[in-house]
């Protein structure tokens, strides 16, 4: 059994970003087993992807259809050998030196932690506020629909800050109910026990659903402030109507399953 397996899902992901993400993992753990699964970006993209990554000792596979984020990671995980820990990450993440090692050591020390998230930064070094309390319809409306000036107004600002756990802060370790799927370090046997991501979600909320299914088993989900990653993200649902529709659909699936909370 190896210590760490890693899955990354691509869909027309920038090659340079992806190479940077993979190299940051290899620099941390040269013995990790990495699988990159492409969600049917097209034959040309996939061929170029394999060519771009041929100098790296990783497994590049095609899912042969775009079944969504959770589908892609479930598909990739099946190609991984047995491991103690499993890392689920985006292809636009760069791990800071020493951060992944610290997370693994922390989980070995705190053996009842099943799922761990680091401090996630924007490219300019500011914090991405991705730790979450249980979402409500109001929270999603405020976060996704309101313009930036309105988000900074009185009640709206306080409500969003509460949802994003800014009142607790991001400078110390603590347990929490929900973390972002862009970078999840999980105990592999638990991931397999709950059968991975629910593929009913094409994109959005599959990470929250995974957290909920882990939480109901009494397992700890935690945030580790001493490890840093940089996330070169773009919020697709704010720019693409189809992705916004996917967000709404996933929210409906999530609330139907875990209970509707309006505010």
What is the model's pLDDT at position 237?
46
The verdict on residue 240 lying in a domain is no
Q: Which two tokens stand for residue 158?
A: 């306080």
Q: What is the rounded CA–CA span in Å between residue 115 and residue 214?
A: 8
* Cβ-Cβ contacts under 8 Å for 161 (sequence gap 6 or more): 167
The three-state secondary structure class of 33 is: strand
Q: Which domain holds residue 193?
A: 2-133+169-234
Phi and psi dihedrals of 199, rounded to 5? Answer: -80, 5
Residue 252 placed within a domain: no
Alpha-carbon gap, residue 238 to 243, rounded angstroms? 8
Neighbours of 219 (CB within 10 A): 18
Nearest Cα neighbor of 104 from 199, 2, 201, 20 is 2
Q: Does a structural domain hold residue 157?
A: no
Residue 111 lies in a domain: yes
State the pTM of this model.
0.93
110 occurs within a structural domain: yes
What are the pLDDT tens digits along the chain (263 aa)?
899 999 999 999 999 999 999 999 999 988 899 999 999 999 999 999 999 999 998 999 999 999 999 999 999 999 999 999 999 999 999 999 999 999 999 999 999 999 999 999 999 999 999 999 999 999 888 777 666 666 677 788 899 999 999 999 999 999 999 999 999 999 999 999 999 999 999 989 999 999 999 999 999 999 999 999 999 986 544 457 788 888 899 999 999 999 998 88
- Residue whose entry in the numeric block shows the structure tokens 């249980």: 134
Q: Specify the number of domains making up the chain.
A: 1
Question: Using CA atoms, how far apart are residues 58 and 47, in angstroms rounded to an integer?
Answer: 15
In a domain, 197, yes or no: yes
Residue at 187 is within a domain: yes
The pLDDT score that the predictor gives to residue 235 is 53
Structure tokens at 14: 């920038």
Q: CATH number, domain at 60?
A: 3.90.550.10
**Does the residue 218 lie in any domain?**
yes
């Amino acid at each position: 059994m190896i210590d760490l397996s890693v899955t990354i899902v691509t869909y027309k992901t920038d090659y340079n970003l992806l190479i940077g993400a993979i190299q940051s993992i290899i620099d941390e753990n040269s013995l990790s087993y990495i699988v990159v699964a492409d969600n049917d970006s097209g034959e040309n993209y996939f061929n170029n992807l394999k060519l771009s990554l041929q100098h790296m000792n990783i497994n590049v596979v095609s899912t042969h259809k775009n079944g969504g984020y959770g589908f892609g990671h479930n598909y990739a995980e099946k190609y991984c050998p047995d491991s103690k820990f499993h890392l689920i990450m985006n292809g636009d993440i760069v791990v800071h030196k020493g951060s992944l090692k610290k997370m693994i050591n922390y989980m070995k020390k705190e053996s009842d932690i099943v799922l761990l998230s680091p401090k996630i930064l924007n490219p300019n070094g500011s914090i991405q506020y991705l730790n979450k309390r249980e979402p409500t319809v109001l929270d999603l409306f405020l976060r996704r629909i309101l313009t930036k000036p309105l988000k900074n107004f009185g009640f709206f600002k306080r409500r969003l800050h509460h949802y994003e756990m800014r009142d607790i802060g991001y400078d110390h370790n603590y347990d929490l109910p929900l973390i972002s799927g862009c970078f999840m370090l999980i105990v592999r046997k638990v991931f397999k026990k709950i059968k991975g991501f629910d593929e009913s979600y094409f994109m959005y909320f599959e990470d929250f659903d995974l957290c909920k299914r882990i939480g109901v088993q009494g397992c700890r989900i935690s945030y580790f402030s001493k490890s840093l990653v940089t996330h070169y993200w773009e919020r697709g649902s704010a720019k693409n109507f189809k992705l916004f529709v996917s967000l709404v659909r996933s929210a409906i699936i999530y609330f139907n399953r875990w209970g509707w909370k309006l505010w």
